[in-house]
Chains A and B, each alone.
Chain A
Amino acid sequence: MKTLEKPVQQKPEGKDGGSFIKSLVRNQIFIPIAALLILVIFNLVADPSFFAITLSQNSAGYPILSGNLINILDNASELVILAIGMTLVTSASGGQDISVGAAIALSGSVVLRVLCGTESRPETLQAPIIVAFLVCCLVAMIFGAFNGVLVAYFKIQPMVATLILFTAGRSIAAWINNNELPIISEASFGYFGNFIPGIPVPTPIFIAVLCMIIIALVLRFTKLGLFTQSVGINSESSRLNGINPEFIKFITYVILGLCVAIAGFIKVSRFSTINYSVVAKDIEMDAILAVALGGNALSGGKFNMAASVLGAYVIQFLTTTLFKFNVISSALPAYKAVVVIILVVLSAPIVRDKIASVRKKLSAPRTAVKEANR
């Protein structure tokens, strides 16, 4: 079905050349921008003080910026980093990784295990933080590779393959630390999830920006983006063109594993401890939503990284807005669902075609003249 549909979709591209691609990109990033604008306007009308940013001092006496906007940027960091990896996975394999939440718990658990060694509440760190970070990256990438092998080489549907880690991830995380909840008292560990003394902007924002720059450079200077999209659009024809589709799929899962490690590291650094069953709960759903909100097809193929990242910020913006209006956290999903449904219905190809045909009818006389001139 996919292979039959794709050429039809691509036809206009060949006809109109570059301008169509441009308008398509504009079209795709239009959804998250429009959603963001609606949220901003809504907040401006409801309560302009939402956007206030104040400079205050934290308990240690260092200046910090606070305010809803800073909160949004700060809290969205993990989601943005995950959305980057999830976009690649979605594009290449036409499926989503639902194990990222569990994998974050797992990588966070690894960080604590390395830092704490055998004690559960060490006075000093048992290993340098960089070592813990590298070990955590390695472990997360191994688990990413496990998913990747199942998806790419065993040809199991991504959602089902990642269901395995989704089920077992948090349990393995608890197992790594013998079901104890280690707490790190060392202040320098908290820098990565909170503030570095003297810098008023939360560190996760910098980490997220760094990740965005890295992925932008990778997509600009390597063929990764091109290859993932071609594998996603038609893996058989990309194989005939000399790309190894299995390896491309595999590598996107490993990259997602790396993203998970970074997100997990930020997550444990925020609290200096971990709660296996709660940490990063439902974040996989938000990450998938970010990809979908960015207008990327969840069935794979073309992707727009900037739109995904923007989608992640929109989700966090929505969450913060809802909190602002005193929606209790457990009722939050219902409102989120309504927004999501409206967005996906508006961006559904069929609805778009209908809107376009209505528009065409309205401007029919003009096009008729154009056709005649041609």
Chain B
Amino acid sequence: MKLIKNADGTSKKISDQNLLLTITIAVFLLMYICAVVFLGSGFLKPQTFFNILNENAALIILSCGMSLVMITGGIDISVGMLTALVCMSCAVNLDYNGGNVLTSILIALGIGAAFGLVQGYLIAYLEIQPFIVTLAGMFFAKGMTTIVNATQFNVANEEFQALKSTRITVPGMGSYNKLGNYVPAYVEIGVIVALIVVAALFAVLRWTKLGRGFYAIGGNSQSANMLGINVKRTKFLAYLLCGILAGIGGFVYFLHVGSGSPSHASGAEMNAIASSIIGGTMLSGGSGNIFGTFFGVLSLSTIKNIVSSLGLDDAWWTNITVAAMICLFLVVQSVVLSRKNKAKA
């Protein structure tokens, strides 16, 4: 077991937070091994793993933002619909309004930042409950998507198509197909963006004053206030960051699907919350880990892949297994938390 050195040199048993992270990673590995054992060597190909990344790059970014606000003790349920709005706006900009990739990226960031600003202001400075504010944000984004354009359409812009089909080959990870030809493994641009976001956010949360502030106000906002942290501003920044990340995630999603539709990314907010929970972020705030969230997304999508490969293709089995998994993790978290409280008392 990993030991953690305290400041005074004594070592103590693995902390609860790291325990949750360890559980998450262990479950992911276990699940992946199960997939390999029961479903054959398809899961052993690196490309299968990279495909999971390709499909979930946007979800990873959204989940990072979600974890951030969950660490501060809040929630943002507008991210899913915000993704749909970003997709639709970018698509309309590219195809109907003669925009190029740069303007559409700016639009995506702008929409995300605007939502983050308004929601952050309402939550942090007017002290309205996050749930109700972001619920309104979700409704607004949902309605705006259809006002921008009511029907689904594929983007034909060449510049965008070129960006969309850009594949970054991963050296040494390719495989031979049935004909004996070498097929290189690849990831999409979105994956690179997602990995950068994960790394950057991890660094911010671990090593900057702002990052520690997020944990502090999530743990106990009154003591954070007494320690001289500007609680309102920190909270505001968390929602602003989450909004911007939703904008980035929205564009990555757009890059993956290449179309605008009101039904895009429906339920993504719940997937993001689920991933964060599986990753060990507690909704009560004050604890969480971005790497955990990353593995949370991977676990969630692996289980979905397993269920669909088992031939239980019916969508309801996926939902039921995902729900069972969330249930399991919640109970584990709850047990960990009560054990911690008992140790304190």
Report how far A288 CA is from B320 CA in the complex, Å: 25
Are the CB atoms of B319 and A171 closer together than 8 Å? yes
Q: Which residues of A contact B315 (CB under 8 A)?
A: 171
In the complex, per-residue mask of A133-176: 1 if CB is within 8 Å of any chain B CB, else 0: 00000000000000000100011110111011111101110110
Are the CB atoms of B222 and A333 closer together than 8 Å? no
- Give chain B nearest CB distance to A354 CB in angstroms: 10
Are the CB atoms of A344 and B128 closer together than 8 Å? yes
Q: Which residues of A contact B273 (CB under 8 A)?
A: 160, 163
Binding stretch for chain A, among B9-17, B160-168, B331-339:
B331-339
Q: Which residues of A contact B333 (CB under 8 A)?
A: 156
Are the CB atoms of B314 and A179 closer together than 8 Å? yes
Are the CB atoms of A344 and B132 closer together than 8 Å? yes
Does A96 touch B at the CB level, under 8 Å?
yes
Q: Which residues of B contact A171 (CB under 8 A)?
A: 315-320, 323
Does A328 touch B at the CB level, under 8 Å?
yes
Are the CB atoms of A331 and B147 closer together than 8 Å? yes
In the complex, per-residue mask of B267-278: 1 if CB is within 8 Å of any chain A CB, else 0: 000100110010
Q: Which residues of B contact A159 (CB under 8 A)?
A: 75, 131, 283
- Give chain B nearest CB distance to A1 CB in angstroms: 6
Q: Which residues of B contact A168 (CB under 8 A)?
A: 319-320, 322-324
Q: Which residues of B contact A160 (CB under 8 A)?
A: 273, 277, 283, 326, 330
Q: Which residues of A contact B274 (CB under 8 A)?
A: 163, 167
- The one of B262, B277, B316, B326 that contacts A175, using a Cβ cutoff of 8 Å: B316
In the complex, per-residue mask of B218-248: 1 if CB is within 8 Å of any chain A CB, else 0: 0011100000000000000000000000000
Does B102 touch A at the CB level, under 8 Å?
no
Are the CB atoms of A345 and B126 closer together than 8 Å? yes
Chain A contacts with B in 161-211, Cβ cutoff 8 A:
161, 163-168, 170-172, 174-175, 179
**CB-CB nearest in chain B for A297:** B129
Binding stretch for chain B, among A10-18, A213-221, A334-342:
A334-342
Report how far A232 CA is from B133 CA in the complex, Å: 22
- Give chain A nearest CB distance to B85 CB in angstroms: 10
Q: Which residues of A contact B133 (CB under 8 A)?
A: 341, 344
| Interface of A, helix, strand, loop or mixed by DSSP | helix
- The one of B135, B314, B316 that contacts A288, using a Cβ cutoff of 8 Å: B135
Q: Which residues of B contact A1 (CB under 8 A)?
A: 220-222
Does B139 touch A at the CB level, under 8 Å?
yes
Does B264 touch A at the CB level, under 8 Å?
no
Report how far A320 CA is from B153 CA in the complex, Å: 30
Q: Given contacts A155-B334, A155-B337, A328-B150, is CB(A337)–CB(B132) below 8 Å?
A: no
Report how far A24 CA is from B126 CA in the complex, Å: 20
In the complex, per-residue mask of B11-51: 1 if CB is within 8 Å of any chain A CB, else 0: 00000000000000000000000000000000000000000
Report how far A12 CA is from B221 CA in the complex, Å: 25
**CB-CB nearest in chain A for B221:** A1
Report how far A289 CA is from B138 CA in the complex, Å: 13
Q: Which residues of B contact A349 (CB under 8 A)?
A: 127
**CB-CB nearest in chain A for B129:** A298
Does B284 touch A at the CB level, under 8 Å?
yes
Are the CB atoms of A172 and B316 closer together than 8 Å? yes
- The one of A163, A333, A340 that contacts B326, using a Cβ cutoff of 8 Å: A163
In the complex, per-residue mask of A309-351: 1 if CB is within 8 Å of any chain B CB, else 0: 0000000000000000000101111111110110011001111
Are the CB atoms of A164 and B143 closer together than 8 Å? no
Does A240 touch B at the CB level, under 8 Å?
no
Point out which of B314, B318, B334 has the most chain A C-beta atoms below 10 A from its C-beta: B334
- Give chain A nearest CB distance to B130 CB in angstroms: 10
Are the CB atoms of A155 and B330 closer together than 8 Å? no
- The one of B125, B140, B323, B331 that contacts A333, using a Cβ cutoff of 8 Å: B140
In the complex, per-residue mask of B302-345: 1 if CB is within 8 Å of any chain A CB, else 0: 00000000000011111110111011001101100110000000
Does B193 touch A at the CB level, under 8 Å?
no
Q: Which residues of B contact A234 (CB under 8 A)?
A: none
Are the CB atoms of B284 and A334 closer together than 8 Å? no
Report how far A341 CA is from B262 CA in the complex, Å: 22
Q: Which residues of A contact B330 (CB under 8 A)?
A: 150, 154, 156, 160-161, 164
19 examples of A-B residue contacts, CB within 8 angstroms: A96-B131, A150-B330, A154-B334, A160-B273, A160-B326, A160-B330, A167-B274, A168-B322, A171-B319, A174-B314, A288-B135, A289-B132, A330-B142, A330-B262, A333-B142, A336-B139, A337-B136, A341-B136, A350-B125
Interface residues in chain A, defined as those with a beta carbon under 8 Å from any beta carbon in chain B: 1, 4, 96, 150, 154-157, 159-161, 163-168, 170-172, 174-175, 179, 285, 288-289, 292, 298-299, 328, 330-338, 340-341, 344-345, 348-351
Given A164-B326, A333-B138, 13 more A-B residue pairs with CB atoms under 8 Å apart are A154-B330, A155-B337, A163-B273, A168-B319, A171-B317, A172-B320, A298-B132, A337-B136, A337-B137, A344-B128, A344-B136, A350-B126, A350-B127
